[in-house]
Structure 1
Amino acid sequence: MRRSFSLNAVLVTVAALGALVLTVVHRSPAGLLTFQLDTREVRAAPGQTQVLRHDLSALKVFNLTLVRVKDRYVDPTRIDARKMLLGALDSVQFNIPEVIVEPDDGRREVAVRVNDKREVFSTADVDSPWRLVAKLKKIFRFVEVNMNPGADLAAVEYAAVNGMLGTLDPHSVLMNPEAARDMDVNTSGKFGGLGIVIRMVDRKLTVIRPMKGTPAWTRGIKAGDHIVKINDEPTDNLTSDEAVDRMRGEPKTPVTLWVARKGEAGLLQFDLIRDLIRLASVESKLLGKGVGYIRIKSFSSATAADTAAAMRELSAQGAATWILDLRWNPGGLLEQSIQVSDLFVDTGAVVTTVSTRKREVHDASRGLGDTGSSVAVLVNSGSASASEIVAGALKNLDRAVIIGNRTFGKGSVQELFDNQDGSKLKLTVAQYLTPGDRSIQSVGIVPDVQLAPMMVPAKTGTPGDRVRLLPPSRSYGEKDLDAHLTSTYAKDGDKPAHELAYVYERPAAKVTTAPADGSSDEALDEEPPDDDEIREDFEMRFARDLLAANPTAQRPALVKAARKLLDRVRAEEEKKLVDQVSKLAVDWSAPPADASAGARLTARLDTAPLGAIRAGDTVTLTGTVKNEGTAPAFRVHARVQTDDGVFEDTELLFGKIAPGETRTFEAKLVVPKDSVDRLDRLGLEVREAKNAPATVIPATLRIEARPRPVFAYAYHLVDAGNGDGLVQRREKYKLRLTIKNSGQGTAAETTALLRNASGDGVVIDKSRFELGELAPGQSRTVEFPFAVTPRLDGEEMAVEVLMYDGVLGTQASEKLRFPVRPAVAVEAQRGVVEVRARATTLRAGASADSTPIGTAAAKARFTSLGVAAGWVKVDLGEGRFGFAPAGEVGKTGGAATSAWTPTWHSTPPALTVQQRGLETTAATYTVGGSVVDDTHVEDVYIYVSNSSAKIDGRKVFYRSNRGGKNDKQLDFQADVPLWPGSNQIMVVARENTDVRAVRMMYVYREATKTAAVSP
């Protein structure tokens, strides 16, 4: 099932650079050249040039990175020069379309093709970092010579560095200068805020709550308020992060919020002064029975002090035992995790940091807290890094019982290094060890009491009614990341002392924080809470009851005592489960003690409607199980097995089945509207209380994609100030945007946005247009009014246009950059001018580098509005004007026709892919087709991905149109490799760097027979 949720954005700034280094867990940082197709590729369009050309073959950043890796990397045994070379080249080929790399492990060589040139390089001698550099220099000389001119060669080197680092671990990355600057801004320089928790609700910037004691609290901002404007900028198109950025600033600086409030006729104005805001990382509550509850959301600079203060406050209220909730805590500052541990232990090593240079032991300190009361620590898969240090210390020092689920398993330390070019290296330099020299790396902290939530819906008639009695078949933790580190100190043999499944009860939803899409919350333990209210859940109640009945400071005693509570709670949850399942007309009774094991099951899965299922339709999965044995089957339960996340883990309940009896169970699911063509094999994992064998007949499901819209667009910066069409400060403009659907499918919910990319230098008056349906061939025009203020930094004004279909996910975007120019005097001069002997280009402003907006044919006549140095300002109709070169038009008589052809700035090519079925038993699949464009076809290339085989975006084909017979058409055919299971094939055709078309489908490769027997 697909879910969408948004996390709160908090209007605070914390000096969290240390926390970032210690705890950030991600596949690739924002702004980096990541392994995603929707990133901007590093290659420039033909004909574009750079002012300064990066010396790619010098490999300055690569060399420096390699030196630091050799000197500081936590595990030198992972430094494999040949593997690093191939990783670097693979990253380069992913990011540069015209490069494709073909390694040959048998011959220990690699073939590199750039456009139509190919050269083979031996890798047999790449046995050290220095020979790696020498080989890569040679390869990059070949790449640089044969690439089209205008490539961003620095970005090529950054891609190579990240490919090389990717062979080490998932947390060592290079941030390019832009990403590094963004990180610096986010972690320093803006320390003032207002103290508001906000979220987008129904596309309105909504106050979830003001934080006590902050400027927002003091001036009367209330939960539920809608922030309509920040200073002069409307918020209707801002994301939560963008709104946070607008409201942050230097302390003691002013900001004005315009707020809509229920019951108030007009907007309320709040003039606020930014102040230093400290994010409270600790929340607490007395749960009753003398149990104090403390939730730590992250480890920031005051976490330990705040935890100690919470303990004192709760003690005064009668707390004598403690629950420490570290669920969804991603970590933070090492020193704070040590100090929090010190509040509960007074002897032993809390954590040990081990690098190639030294071993540093952090011992507990005496007399800092409560070391004699019962303690329980709640953890889950979202508990990482510093939170794992605390949980590991309290567990391994036998101080606290650990309750919940296995933690994430991030036991490494990263350090930041600055480069002269502005980039930053984040390198893994050490690992953590919990007491007893036990690493958490990739194994996490195993709970003493493992709790597993189960969900039973009240009914099963709609797609939202999902059964879930089993944990997800796929997990996500450190061990699931590519190239994750392993530690010789890690021990993966730990098992929970106790396990308990319980029936999950959804908390009552709050109206002010409901999801904008109206979706129900079925997150269970898979997503963090989205507000700061403390609401008791099953884990908290279980821990409370355990501690209240067992006032002991020793973990072994608590673990042993848990059995009695578990026996009682297990019986209660068992009865609850049986009762709830019975409401679905399923007998979930347990088998009697003397039940025989003579059941034998046949299971079948059917889908409806028959034939291809169109994306967006509802599918009914019907499971049918027959007991062909001699004894009853009990608690028969099936789960769908497939590599399609829409259907994977769908559970079907059959319960008790008598000999000869057949039972069915249905589940309804909605195929997402943006699904692509694919064929799914749906198997069943069948379970029965006495482990009866089951023969399974799987189903095949064919999904048919909806025709996609394609957005072409043209833009015109209309000067509403001095009329010279150029950008100056203190002027107003309108960005006129025309959007055309050039695809075959209707865009159901078309939205056009203009985003400010110039900080305080631009104020947008209206930034969002909801255009509704846009049929194939249909176009719409909108105008975004905005002003350029004196606060614009630099000599460039930048805005970003974005258009998207909210249903199918199709989008197009571009960051538009306009140089700031001195004003050009336009002398009024009315009359009629005629284009001379040949067509001329019309521009938005009186400058040769102004945006071309159209073409006027020879003899076309226009009303002249004025003249500027070398330019004639002409009336284009509809309140628009343009500039024609003075030498290409002349005065004439007669009437103006204003006939001209607008320039489309983005017209994606038409990509046709011949589909030869969606399943095969062969190891390859032929993909063929044609690309046609009205201006130019640059190239076509193909990626293949297969999650089961861990193939992620492997480029398998590239064809350039360089030197082709037809510059506007390119035919192609490729035999692409397949792996068993579902293979995602992505075909990309480009007109230039920014304009491209994408076609995606899945092809299923059969590996073995699909009929199966479940034991």
Structure 2
Amino acid sequence: MHTGRWKTTVHVAILVAGVVAGAFFAMPLIGISSSEGGEERYALADARILRIVISHIDAHYVDPDRIDPVEMLKGGLTALEKYVPEIQTEIDEEEPILVLRVAEAAQVLSFGKVTDLYTLLEFFREVFRFIEDHFSGTTPLQEIEYAAINGILNALDPHSRLLPPEVFQEFEVTTRGKFGGLGIVIGIRDGELTVIAPIEDTPAYYAGIKAKDKIVKIEDESTVNMSLTEAVGKLRGPEGTQVTIYIMREGFDEPRKFTITRAEIEIKSVTSQLLAGGIGFLKIKNFQENTFSDLKDHLDRLKCLNAGHTEEMCKPGQVSGRQTKGGELHGLILDFRNNPGGLLDQAIRIADKFLKSGIIVTTVDMTRRSRKEEWARRRNTEPPYPMAILVNGGSASASEIVSGALKVHDRAIVVGDNTFGKGSVQTLYNLPDNAALKLTVAKYLLPGDVSIQSVGIVPDYRLVPVIIDEALIDFRLGEEMPKEKDLEKHFEKSGNVVEKPTYTIKYLDEEYRRHASASGESAEGEEAADEAFEEEYGKKDYSTDSYVELARRLLLGASMGEMRPKILEQSAHLVEKIRKEEEAKIEKELAKLGIDWSMGPAGPERKATVAVEFLQDPPKARAGEEAHFILSVENRSTTTTLHRLIGVIDSENFLFNGREFPIGKLPPGATKRYELTVKIPKDTLTRVEEFEISFQEANGILPDPVTASIQIEGLPRPEFAYSYQVVDDGHCNSRGNGDGLIQKGEEICLLFFVKNVGKGTAEETQAYLKNVQGKEIFMKEGRVELGALPPGAIKEASFLFQVRNRVQGEMGEEIPVTLDTFDLEVTILDAEFREYLVNKLHFPIDSNRVTVMPQHQWVETTTTPLPIYGGASTRAPIVARVTTPSVFLADGKLPGWYRIRIDEERHGWITADRVAITNQPPAASKGVELFIQNVPPEIELVGTTFLTPAHDRIQLRGIVKAPENFTHRVKDTYIFANEDKVFFKSFNTGKEAQRLAHEFVAEFPLEAGNNLITIIARDENDLIARKSFFIRPEGSGKETAKANVETF
């Protein structure tokens, strides 16, 4: 680890920014002690983690003016109530007081004395003490503290975060760039843990592991429904240790055992390719500890290949100086697209490799009193061949430092799109329990003290891909990728200088059709995704990449020693040639669709009169169907022709935002219309979406924006309930004594009955059973595709698992299983509506293995209704009810119990004292009803207008209740308005605890525009019901206008 300091005598890990998809870049240092032993209950009221976090904020936070204790208090409390169902907070800033509710307990706390960080700490100690005293939920107390801390940090900026232990551990692997493992890329394919690709020259590669292999077992643990995170944790381990995996492959009759010795696996952050004309290409995915070393190795590889040597002779890290002789590159392309950043020292070293002198980057605090400059050195600098850097909106932090330094020093041209725009510096501090604090401590400046905060690196050559297809036309006129400036609490940009690209090139994205079909809803799409993974970790050919090819052509026109200004100047002719070529392609493709995209003069008048009309067909767009939006434009001018006219939607809804209406050429007196088709996802809720259509025109003659609205009608939604039965009598591949109870060593078929109790059809119903216990349970079959499930319909799903007698210990020894209970987790979901049910199942292990005595006699019920149990115990779940006197065939007997045939495939158990032996065979039909054991609570709203309440407040009235004929009590109900918990009610005390139905009344304010309201009810078995809908106050947002006629 590299060591150093940042204005403190405490050794810490210093990060400089880089958060895109959760990545960072850093200069790591030796950390403080991070572990505290003991198994005692977590002392939340001590606030031990928060205390350390507060001290670091006080000592090191970049901008003291941003530290607002009350805002941080509100952020922490909001995070608490979002993370923990039983907690609700109500803040009155005028008093100022907090009403804190934890389940049925409540306390009023004043925060009038919260004026600095340490009074904030004392306030949260009081909050934590009350939670610790009254909280009895399942959320771990440590996670509650973590949630509050992250809410507090969110009030500072979007990059200061607490990293929980599991996140910090993976972060360390990422920054180190290596780990102990096998050398395989894995993913979940068709619900199975699958090898996407083995990495060359690794243990897995040499062991013969192949792409598309299914890993069915790791050591003695089944991988059925094992998450990727769990699998990675089991496959990784110290270098030199062994792991055994079992592989199923096409052609194998049964899984085969592979015992593989782990080795140090390097995460390759650099790949390379020699392009035509002696142009080198380096793709840098992120900046980790070995990135600079990898870059040097790949530079040698490129020079070796350019000298005429073979791929085998030019492997990275194995090239000698003699092999690079005569292979000097004509130019070099550095590809930082979608590179989120990484280690700061690596970024500095890479920039230094191509610069002889000058400042690379400067880190300062907001007052600029603390300043550290990093300078380039002449030693070991690369020859002055022409260079190009490729960037886009996913290039952040370290990528921006290297790109900016090489651009400012005129060492390289920059091609692509504006980068992410993150100019702040984070430090990583180790915390107890292997967590870490990532805190913003400074900002960085490019040479010349230029900040790219919320601006990014502006490319010299901006490339705009244009998609033209029957299904989609997209000129990319809207902001496509979220950037720093879109994040809440982001640091503002400094200065008002607006830099623009020297050249902008719109080009036809000819890869769109291929990529669109590859990501379609088909097996081919999944195979294409697999190929993409293999390309990422194999040898992708970048020579057909549009960005790469343009950069290559630009560098071919330059000579050794020519710097950025010269390349920009002399490329004007080439750029114009490419522009015309691409414009011709775009015009040709649009002409095929009946759109005239030709260019022409502005005409004598700079004003024109137009009529713009927006129509929707049908008037209400129905979820799951296509909506057609028609924009009609009439040019009422007598002399002015509009060219390349296009309308663009500005909407808060991602379905519509940025969608375009290309009208094209519009002569005087002409009317043209464009129909935009949008597929509305089935899970879309009923709402009214108001938006604005603005216009662009080639000569700057812009019609005024038009406001319009879209009405969407949501579909009835499915909701799931279930029951289950333990089968151990030989049916559905089970193996046991047939008593319907679980004993060790048995192979259990868990038969599930999934019912849709909602009002809409579940289109793609899936059921999963996950082992959350450990290796004592071996899951054999845990995933079932149930398909469509209409309202009221029931389908069966069977899962197979074994409760083991013995398991393998850490040293390979056999250890007896001592469990007397275990847990599994069931998930039922519909992929179309994204409706789901998740519930934990608790099973007893019966230690009394008995022999079921065979029978063959008729038994008649003597009383009804009569419960039929899944096993020979009243602890077993009830699987059916006998509603009318019936006769059953009993084929097994235990003391006090008969095993009866419910149907040809299913058994059940009834108590012997409720039946009598008879000689009468059963009638054609029996009075047996399947009993669905687990049904979520019901939520009913009374007298609520969903779409447009007349005021900015709303009162919701409703009832939550247990389903009919059920005794499961409702535990609590809570309501979210957008992300704010506005209501919580516990029904666990007093008379409320005895009721099966509860009324609720909730009054709360509404924001302008659409408000997403979610009502949640939980029963005592933690089954959850949800009801979500949108409410839009009247008069909020833009006023709807069906037609506008304007003169301009």
Shorter-chain TM-score category? 0.7 to 0.9
The amino acid that maps onto 2:260 is: I
Structure 1 CA distance for aligned equivalents of residues 271 and 174 of structure 2: 25
- 3-state SS of the aligned residue for 2:405? helix
- Equivalent position SS for 2:781: coil
Q: Could you tell me which of 750, 762, 766 is aligned with 1:747?
A: 762
Report the alpha carbon displacement of residue 473 of structure 1 after superposing the two structures with TM. Answer: 3.7
- Whichever residue aligns with residue 79 of structure 2, its letter is S
Secondary structure of 1:938's match?
Answer: strand
**Counterpart secondary structure, 2:472:** coil
Deviation of the 1:203 alpha carbon? 6.0
**SS of the residue aligned with 2:760?**
coil
Residue correspondence of structure 1 range 193-592 to structure 2 within 5 A: 193-199=181-187, 208-218=196-206, 220=208, 225=212, 227=214, 229-230=216-217, 247-248=235-236, 251=240, 253-256=242-245, 258-261=247-250, 269=256, 271=258, 273-276=260-263, 277-316=265-304, 317=306, 318=327, 319-354=329-364, 360-420=372-432, 423-457=435-469, 459=470, 465-473=471-479, 475-486=481-492, 493-506=498-511, 509=514, 517=522, 531=536, 533-535=540-542, 536-551=544-559, 552-592=561-601
Q: In terms of mean alpha carbon deviation, does 563-572 or 810-819 score higher?
A: 810-819
Report the Cα distance in structure 1 between the residues aligned to 2:696 and 2:184, rounded to whole angstroms: 49
Equivalent residue for 1:169, pick from 146, 153, 157: 157
Match of 2:779 in 1: 764
Are 2:715 and 1:706 aligned?
A: yes
Matched, 1:906 2:913: no
CA 1:192/1:97 → structure 2, altered by over 3 Å: closer, same or farther? closer
Q: Equivalent residue of 2:970, what SS?
A: coil
Distance (Å, rounded) in 1 between the aligned partners of 2:86 and 2:458: 47
Q: Aligned equivalents of 1:19 and 1:286: distance in 2?
A: 36
Partner of residue 37, structure 1:
none
Residues 787-829 of structure 1 show CA distances to partners (whole Å, capped at 9, x for unaligned) of 355138896755432111122221112344658x795554777
Aligned residue for 1:929? 958
Q: Where in structure 2 are the equivalents of 1:999-1014 lying within 5 Å?
A: 999-1005=1027-1033, 1006-1007=1035-1036, 1008-1011=1038-1041
- What amino acid is aligned across from residue 787 of structure 2 in structure 1? G
Give the letter for the 1:791 counterpart. Answer: Q
* Counterpart check, 1:614 vs 2:622: yes
Measured after TM superposition, the shift of residue 268 of structure 1 is 8.5
1:639 to 648, 651, 660: 648
2:996 to 958, 968, 974: 968
Question: What letter corresponds to residue 1039 of structure 2 in structure 1?
Answer: K
Which range is displaced more, 193-202 or 925-934? 193-202
**Residues 961-1008 of structure 1: CA deviation (Å, up to 9, x unaligned):** 455667222333444422232222222222247322112222334334
Q: Which amino acid aligns with 2:636?
A: E
Cα deviation for residue 618 of structure 1 reads 1.0
Alignment correspondent of 1:58 = 46
- Post-superposition offset of 1:715: 3.6
Stretch of structure 1 that moved more, 594-603 or 417-426: 417-426
Structure 1 residues 817 and 75 mapped into 2: Cα distance closer, same or farther (>3 Å)? farther
Give the equivalent residue in structure 2 for 1:666. 675
1:670: Cα distance to partner? 0.9
Q: What TM-score does the superposition give when structure 2 sets the normalisation length?
A: 0.79
- DSSP 3-state at the match of 1:765: strand
Q: Percent identity?
A: 33
What does the per-residue CA deviation read over 1:670-718, in whole Å, with 9 as the maximum and x for residues that have no partner? 1101111111224321222333353565443322222111111234555
Cα distance, 1:416 vs. partner? 4.7
The answer to whether the Cα contact below 8 Å between 1:601 and 1:693 also exists between their aligned partners in 2 is no
Q: Quote the offset at 1:127 in angstroms.
A: 0.6
SS of residue in 1 equivalent to 2:614 = strand
* Inter-CA distance 433–900: structure 2 relative to 1 (3 Å threshold): farther
2:954 counterpart of 1:954: no
Letter in 2 for 1:969: A
* TM-score for the superposition, normalised by structure 1: 0.81
Which residue of the partner structure matches residue 791 of structure 1?
Answer: 808
Q: Which deviates further from its counterpart, 832-841 or 424-433?
A: 832-841
**Which amino acid letter does the alignment assign opposite residue 337 of structure 1?**
A
Q: Paired residue for 1:44?
A: none
SS of the residue aligned with 1:163?
A: helix
- Counterpart AA for 1:942: I
Aligned residue for 2:808, secondary structure, equals coil
CA contact (8 A) 2:235 2:243 kept: no
Instruction: Call closer, same or farther: CA 1:133–1:237 in 2, change over 3 Å.
Output: closer
Match of 2:975 in 1: 942
Q: Which moved more, 1:702-711 or 1:1001-1010?
A: 1001-1010
Give the 3-state SS of the residue equivalent to 2:554 in structure 1: helix
- The alpha-carbon deviation at position 378 of structure 1 amounts to 0.5
The verdict on how the C-alpha distance between 1:603 and 1:817 changes in structure 2, with shifts beyond 3 A counting, is same
Q: Tell me which amino acid in the other structure corresponds to 1:479.
A: K
Hey, what's the Cα distance between the residues in 1 that align with 2:44 and 2:104?
21
For the Cα contact (< 8 Å) 1:643–1:982, is it kept in 2? no
Moved more, 230-239 or 619-628: 230-239
SS in 2 for 1:370: coil
- Distance in 2 (CA, whole Å) between partners of 1:441 and 1:399 is 22
Structure 2: which 5+ runs fail to align? 1-11, 25-38, 307-326, 729-734, 811-816
- The CA RMSD over aligned residues, in Å, is 4.6
**SS of the residue aligned with 2:266?**
coil
Q: Secondary structure at the match of 1:580?
A: helix
Q: 1:840 to 1:359 in 2, by over 3 A?
A: farther
Equivalent AA in structure 2 for residue 927 of structure 1: L
CA distance in 2, matches of 1:325, 1:976: 51
Residue 1006 (structure 2) aligns with:
978
Moved more, 810-819 or 413-422: 413-422
> Which has the larger Rg?
2
| Whole-angstrom distance in 2 between the partners of 1:916 and 1:19 | 53
Task: Assess if the C-alpha contact under 8 Å between 1:413 and 1:429 holds in 2.
Answer: yes
Whether the 8 Å CA contact 1:198–1:205 is kept in 2: the answer is yes
Q: Tell me how far apart the structure 2 counterparts of residues 175 and 111 of structure 1 sit (CA, whole Å).
A: 29
* Matched residue SS, 1:390: helix
Distance 1:441 1:691, change over 3 A: closer
Greater CA deviation, 52-61 or 386-395?
Answer: 52-61
The offset of 1:546, in angstroms, is 1.3
Partner of 1:810: 835
Deviation at 1:760, TM superposition (A): 5.1
**Residues 108 and 241 of structure 1: CA distance in aligned 2, closer, same or farther (over 3 Å):** closer
Distance in 1 between residues matched to 2:97 and 2:449, nearest whole Å: 42
Quickly say closer, same or farther: Cα 1:775–1:367, change in 2 above 3 A.
Answer: same
> Quick one: structure 1 residues 979 and 269, their matched pair in 2 at CA, closer, same or farther if it must change by over 3 Å?
same
Matched AA of 2:89: V
User: 8 Å contact 2:174–2:288 — kept in the other structure?
Assistant: no
Whether the aligned pair in 1 keeps the contact of 2:694 and 2:706 (CA below 8 Å) is no
Say whether the 8 Å CA contact 1:600–1:693 is kept in structure 2: no
Q: CA deviation at 1:729?
A: 7.0
Matched-pair contact (CA < 8 Å) for 2:241–2:262? yes
Q: Do the aligned residues in 2 keep the contact of 1:249 with 1:274 (CA within 8 Å)? A: no
Question: How big is the shift at 1:361?
Answer: 4.1
**Equivalent position of 1:12 in the other structure:** none
Distance between the aligned counterparts of 1:835 and 1:185, measured in 2?
65
| Matched pairs, number | 947
